[in-house]
């Protein structure tokens, strides 16, 4: 049954604390997708690295898949079809041209289990502070294309984690009803900037922002910030979960988008081209 553009559309973001065991992570994701669907969600967003958080960055090379087939992709397609929901599959490692790196990829499946969109993470995280050291470019090949897809309630813009710091990416998505941000923010950077950045992207683009996060202390010793949330077009937090695995849900309300844009028509006042 289709949803008229003016009707609220229930969405959910999953928060996880993923492990180095792919099968255990997929089982946890299945449980949370089922919970979200049972709660009325019709679109479910998983976090970055939902399927695997290895002991070292290069571990993900062992589970990378060719685009179009593999256990992680089959899981996402089957879950979408089984529960009759849109599934935005956080990220999974897909084969890159070079054997030493992967593409950190978001795949979108519709309720029939058909793939509808793909986005390869463009901006690669690099952070050095004390004992914390991250350089995703060592094991990830960056993407190059901005991607969106059409959902029953409007356009959805795709981004991943560190992308959140680059507002020009979101401008280039165009007129979206929803922008999604599957993430695995570190505790340090998340505590400092996560909520501020999510609210800024929602306010700037006068649309909803749904962010699914890793949230807790992982078996590999890494600690992620969590705070999975849904933010509305005025920058108000609709729902949030601080730490631990669970579901965050809320409605995408086209009337709320229209009301915000009517009272403060910043969208219509744009004069500069971001391309």
- In degrees, rounded to 5, the angle at the alpha carbon of residue 6 between the alpha carbons of residues 198 and 238 is 30
Structure tokens at 61: 């090379």
- Could you tell me the maximum CA-CA distance found in the chain, to the nearest angstrom? 53
Cα distance between residue 85 and residue 123, in whole Å: 28
Tell me which of 51, 64, 65, 121 is the catalytic residue. Answer: 121
274 is catalytic: no
121 is catalytic: yes
129 is catalytic: no
Over its C-alpha atoms, the chain yields an Rg (Å, rounded) of 17
Tell me which of 64, 161, 176, 207 is the catalytic residue. Answer: 161
Tell me which of 48, 65, 136, 243 is the catalytic residue. Answer: 48
Cβ neighbours of residue 90 under 8 Å, at least 6 residues apart? 45, 46, 47, 48, 49, 50, 51, 106, 182, 212
Cα distance between residue 148 and residue 29, in whole Å: 24
Tell me which residues are annotated as active site.
48, 121, 161
């Amino acid at each position: 049954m289709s949803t008229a553009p003016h009707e609220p559309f229930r969405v959910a973001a999953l928060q996880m604390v993923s492990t180095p065991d792919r099968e255990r992570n997929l089982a946890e994701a299945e449980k949370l997708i089922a919970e979200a669907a049972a709660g009325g969600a019709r679109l479910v967003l998983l976090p970055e690295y939902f399927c695997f958080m290895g002991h070292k960055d290069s571990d993900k090379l062992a589970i990378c898949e060719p685009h179009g087939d593999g256990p992680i992709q089959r899981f996402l397609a089957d879950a979408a079809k089984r529960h009759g929901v849109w599934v935005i599959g956080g990220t999974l490692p897909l084969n890159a041209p070079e054997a030493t790196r992967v593409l950190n990829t978001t795949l979108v499946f519709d309720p029939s289990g058909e793939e509808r969109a793909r986005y390869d993470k463009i901006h690669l995280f690099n952070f050095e502070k004390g004992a914390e050291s991250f350089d995703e470019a060592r094991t990830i090949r960056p993407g190059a294309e901005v991607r969106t897809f059409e959902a029953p309630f409007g356009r959805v813009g795709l981004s991943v984690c560190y992308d959140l710091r680059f507002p020009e990416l979101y401008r280039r998505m165009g007129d979206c009803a929803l922008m999604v941000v599957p993430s695995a923010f570190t505790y340090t950077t998340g505590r400092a900037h996560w909520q501020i950045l999510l609210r800024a992207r929602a306010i700037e683009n006068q649309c909803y922002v749904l962010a699914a996060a890793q949230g807790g202390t992982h078996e590999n010793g890494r600690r992620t910030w969590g705070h999975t949330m849904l933010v509305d077009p005025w920058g108000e937090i609709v729902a949030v979960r601080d730490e631990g695995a669970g579901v965050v849900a809320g409605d995408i309300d086209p009337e709320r988008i229209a009301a915000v844009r009517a009272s403060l028509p910043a969208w219509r006042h744009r004069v500069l081209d971001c391309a």
